[in-house]
Structure 1
């Protein structure tokens, strides 16, 4: 007696030991590729908001101490006590220590702190830290000087907010949360829409449950790490109850708590799907339950996806009312495609009874998901990038190009999988292969259609049942392994999952990277505020004569990059014969008469005979600057020569 049942399996020509090695090699290669792309080619991750201006400006030299320091941002930010600190040259607080004042006017986002009165001359350091509206921490520092630049004991912070061990753990949790959601939502959708009998398959049950556990654990970790991630950066503060309370009052904290509540509903959904639904036999009742689970599951999945849309990039910038629903739709399409792909891979490798019809159903769903991803992705790309220059000239745009490339590779591999799917045929098998290891002993003890002997010892009957179940499983595996079409499909689906892992990594990095549109807008605003020079390095030559012995020569000078802010200087002194001339002392001073700034003194260091250098020369603003060079050739012979140079 024979029956017809479809089975999938690898080609028998591939040795069993080499198959896992090949899979491991593929995944290792993909992980290496992604690591290289993210670590070597991507700009450092930054957030949506950016500092667009300050008063005083970075590097400015003011005649008298200001009463306050203000910072202007491109987007809304959240600030707390100590978010803006002003330190004097000795490292002491120059501000009053009060929380920053919100000076917002219209669309301008500005915060300020009041300074102490009677501040002495010197260089002051402004260190700031905030949380942008899309939940990412931002920080920075700059200096300004009162009277003239001076030495300072304050070191500018080298680490960005959200970095270090806490930042790494938070990024890992963010990646795990995306992966868990995709497996949870996509795996459940695969069972309901493509293979309802798979609700009773243990491998698929374990896959979906692990997706739920991963998402839940990652969400809890993000909730605990949120306070040190946006604040101190110390891992021990993850268990600070006051910090956790403060997090719960923020939009990202509320989104994480909402996600945990929805995961409670998701747990009930999973219990019904793999419990009552898997055991339901009546077709009409099962159809009604399928409809109810589909509606409930869609609502839960959309709600979980909305916790990302409400707290990250989609909730800020232009058109948030359109961007948030589009982002939810985008995440659901990703889950349907990549999560269903993971479920299909598990079914192909771990369950013997998945049919060709199931694969074709998933192929149609995947195709529809790709169409949705294309439409929503184009809108998101336009919204976050905004211009061709931002697409190639910003970190976000470059990562987006990497993502598009990976999607193209994934679609190409999926096209190969569809070709294998079209070639699938039903494989005839023996009726004995349909024996379920969980059936009762009497049914399992049947041999060649003969019932088990009721008078036989029950333990002997159970032993025979286990043996026949093992034989049935081995027969099914042998038949699977003899089908080259299913072997090709398994390999192509494995490749799809490998590329999907890489794609998910790039997508996770994109969520914490400043969008290209915002980066360019912030750069333009910063450019307009500080008016940096665009002419490039300044080179000049000044002849001199101190009137003494060996008192004639020429001063050659390079100022690089020749713009506002910090500059480097190289100065050479040549004698009349063009050879280096060693002199006891050289001094410089910069003066901007139109703004009554200066003279700003500069004392270069002697590098070698006739060669002097200085670094960190602060030019506070653009204009027609006069540079005066004093050359001393002996104890009594010196001269000062000057020339006007244009900076900016």
Structure 2
């Protein structure tokens, strides 16, 4: 089957392979739900141990019992293990063991957002005072790396299978009934069904490592598969497999009983079967499209009750347009068979025009819902992908317009019949081919059915019969050559092939869009530092403080350099200079930091003396961003000292 399909679908499959290769360099998509807060907060220092850790998300998420862990400074778990789901899933909490020791504790979490994308992260909080910890948690989501790449490729293949399954059926039922009997079209439909079924089953297996461990080897973990099936995305994939099983019957009817009724000219049976296939097959197509709409972007965010049916219509319009376009390519390039008549091409042109209009309307609504503002359109990955999609669609429409002009230039179909028999073999054949067939029948008239005696087996070849057969071959070859050299048909074949190649790229951009956080979500999320400090935060540069202890080393200037001036480990360098700019000494240096807005501190540090006039503090841990007050105490003798105060801004 693959060998038979490879030639008419060569360009299509080559484009698919090229796009899949390009995906090797793509980065995995970010998740769509975000952690908006926690108790205790990231980097917070609390006086007493909390009874539980609570995480708050921007939307409901799913967290397994092992998806929220709290580790003490030695890396031992100190949580109860069972996760409590609150506020409809937007809050996730885990109880902590009693008697929690002082020091820095690490919270590692992993969840699955409502649209099926995994998210993960980690943060720390301290009891009493910060301390060193042996815990190293990356906080990376499991969908990164090879697992994310495989999952994205399978999603693309599933979309392609859906187009190849629905498109040929729509073409045969709405544009050219005789296409149902064409072997090349039958193969495209079967390839689409098999592609979608295999990709869906593989997606169901890969979701285990995609949402949990990030290791492809865990794809056959039956326990994890049970958890996946219970999730929204897993249920959608399982439902898709059930619907595909049911779709096998209408596919068989379309290319079996219906195709035979059309070929035999049985208009009544063909009409009844067309109605049944339209209703039953249409319902299954809607159900298949819903397995995407109910588990991805449309099911989350505002107006989901409107967004889900709009997304279903969007997918069906794309399938009729792009899947039908692939069917037309196969029919135009099939060897040894007549191309579709001009009436069929014009019908598909009208169908494609309606599909494009539907895509424009539904896409406009989706864009408004997911983008919201112009700044979000240009300042987020989702917005930029949407711009790229619009550009590809514009290019595709320009080529489609050229195809439509060539379609209008096609000659009429003298023998075409309306209704189910419009595409019956021989009905719309070229006049020269019908003449050649008549010559062939006349040449055979002197044979078995003639009144004369039958030629003996060993008789010499009849020269007249040979001339008739040669004339028949010349007429048929001339008709085929005129058909292939017709500028309108040749131009149509080329433009439709270009349309299909562009459509493959469009499908890839669409797949990437469904795996990228909506622009509205990204633009509404404030920068990390601004979230924590309530305003802009910038790393502090060198700070100079004049001081005067009144002692032997009386006065001078203290210069403080804190790097990187961010939450976590920092390094502080302190330089003292006398009024002449020479290194100045001191008996003792003390530093303390306080965050008044959150009641943290003072955190006290004793700098290490490095050289004359130079002190340093390594591993200066600051748990929270914001405007910290730094108190610098300089003692130059037993009784002479001063304390200078300044403010340093700590970024997230």
TM-score bracket relative to the smaller structure: 0.7 to 0.9
CA–CA distance in structure 1, aligned partners of residues 13 and 227 of structure 2: 45
Tell me whether 261-270 or 539-548 shows the greater mean CA deviation. Answer: 539-548
Bigger mean CA offset, 504-513 vs 332-341: 504-513
**Residue of structure 1 equivalent to 2:603:** 600
Which blocks of at least 5 consecutive residues in structure 1 are unaligned? Answer: 1-18, 437-442
Alignment of 1:487-506 (within 5 A): 487-506=490-509
CA distance in 1, matches of 2:610, 2:156: 51
1:101 deviates by: 1.2
1:279 Cα deviation after fit: 1.4
Matched with 2:538 is 536
What residue in structure 2 maps to residue 401 of structure 1?
Answer: 387
Residue of 636, 642, 645 corresponding to 1:643: 645
Equivalent in the alignment of 2:512: 509
Residue of structure 1 in register with 2:522 after alignment: 519
Deviation at 1:86, TM superposition (A): 0.8
Q: How does 1:73-112 map to 2 (within 5 A)?
A: 73-97=57-81, 99-104=82-87, 109-112=90-93
Is 2:339 the counterpart of 1:356? Answer: no
Q: How many angstroms apart in 2 are the aligned matches of 1:375 and 1:116?
A: 55
Aligned partner of 2:317 in structure 1 is 333
Preserved CA contact (<8 Å) 1:137 1:229? yes
Question: What is the CA-CA distance between 1:552 and the residue it aligns to?
Answer: 6.0
Give the corresponding residue for 1:377: 363
Q: Specify whether residues 204 and 116 from structure 1 end up closer, same or farther in structure 2 by C-alpha distance, changes over 3 A only.
A: same
Match of 2:34 in 1: 50
Q: What is the root-mean-square deviation in Å for CA atoms of aligned residues? A: 4.2
Q: Is the 8 A contact 2:343 2:412 kept in 1?
A: no
Show structure 2 runs of 5+ residues with no match.
1-7, 415-428, 449-453
CA distance in 2, matches of 1:613, 1:472: 96
Give the one of 354, 367, 381 matched to 2:353. Answer: 367
1:276-425 to 2 correspondences below 5 Å: 276-280=257-261, 281=264, 282-350=266-334, 351-425=337-411
- Counterpart contact for 2:593–2:603, Cα < 8 Å: yes
Using the TM superposition, give the Cα deviation of residue 118 of structure 1 relative to its aligned residue in structure 2, in angstroms.
2.3
CA distance in 2, matches of 1:208, 1:493: 19
1:244 Cα deviation from its structure 2 partner: 2.2
CA distance in 2, matches of 1:221, 1:170: 9
Cα displacement string for residues 287-329 of structure 1 (whole angstroms, at most 9, x for unaligned residues): 2222222222211111111111122221222122111111110
CA offset at residue 240 of structure 1? Answer: 2.3
**8 A Cα contact 1:573 1:580, kept in partner:** no
CA distance in 1, matches of 2:41, 2:513: 31
Deviation at 1:529, TM superposition (A): 6.2
Q: Which residue of 1 aligns with 2:631?
A: 628
Higher RCO structure (Cα 8 Å, ≥6 apart) = 1
Contact kept in structure 1, 2:547 and 2:644, CA below 8 Å: no
Instruction: Tell me if structure 2 keeps the 8 A contact 1:557–1:569.
Output: no
Alignment partner, residue 618 of structure 1? 622
Residues 528, 546 of structure 1: CA spacing in aligned structure 2 closer, same or farther, 3 A cutoff? closer
Superposition TM-score, scaled by structure 1 size? 0.82
Residue 136 (1) aligns with residue 117 (2): yes
1:396-436 deviation line (CA, Å, top 9, x unaligned)? 22222221221122112211221222222369997674699
Q: What is the CA–CA distance in structure 2 between the aligned matches of 1:184 and 1:31, rounded to whole Å?
A: 20
> Matches of 1:127 and 1:480 in 2, distance apart?
68
Whether 1:181 and 2:162 are equivalent positions in the alignment is yes
Contact 1:546 1:637 in 2 (8 A): no
The TM-score, its normalising length taken from structure 2, stands at 0.82
Q: Does 1:70 align with 2:38?
A: no
- Per the TM alignment, residue 177 of structure 1 is displaced from its structure 2 partner at its CA by 0.8
The alpha carbon displacement at 1:72 in A equals: 0.3
Counting only pairs closer than 5 Å after superposition, residues 96-175 of structure 1 correspond to structure 2 as 96-97=80-81, 99-104=82-87, 109-157=90-138, 159-175=140-156
**SS of equivalent residue, structure 2 residue 138:** coil
> What SS does the corresponding residue of 2:80 show, helix, strand or coil?
coil
| Cα deviation 1:540-589 (Å, max 9, x = unaligned) | 211346788888653333557867x4585664626347868598997643
- Deviation string, structure 1 residues 367-402 (Cα, Å, up to 9, x no partner): 111111111111111222222332222222222222
Superimposed CA distance per residue, residues 143-171 of structure 1 (whole angstroms, 9 cap, x where no aligned partner): 12222222221112153132232222222
User: More deviation in 246-255 or 552-561?
Assistant: 552-561
Q: Is the 2:19–2:508 contact (alpha carbons within 8 Å) kept by the matching residues of 1? A: no
Aligned residues: 610
CA distance in 2, matches of 1:612, 1:224: 54
Cα distance in 2 for residues equivalent to 1:29 and 1:638: 78
Q: Please state how far the C-alpha of 1:63 moved relative to its aligned partner.
A: 2.2
Higher-Rg structure is 2
Instruction: Encode CA deviations 1:39-71: one digit per residue, 9 max, x unaligned.
Output: 3xxx85123321111011112222222221110
What is the Cα deviation at residue 235 of structure 1?
Answer: 2.3
Secondary structure of the equivalent of 1:59?
coil
CA–CA distance in 1 between the matches of 2:363 and 2:410? 33
Tell me, yes or no, if the aligned pair for 1:555 and 1:571 is still in contact at 8 Å.
no
| Displacement of 1:520 | 3.7
Structure 1 residues 25 and 199, CA gap change in structure 2 (3 angstroms)? closer
Counterpart of 1:16 in structure 2 is: none
**For 1:607 and 1:301, how far apart are their aligned partners in 2?**
75
- Note if contact 1:553-1:575 (Cα within 8 Å) is conserved in structure 2: yes
- Listed one character per residue, the Cα deviations across residues 233-270 of structure 1 (whole Å, up to 9, x for unaligned) are 23232222222222222322222222112112221111
Q: Paired residue for 1:453?
A: 447
- Cα distance in 1 between the residues matched to 2:458 and 2:61: 72
Q: For 2:110, what is the secondary structure of its paired residue?
A: strand
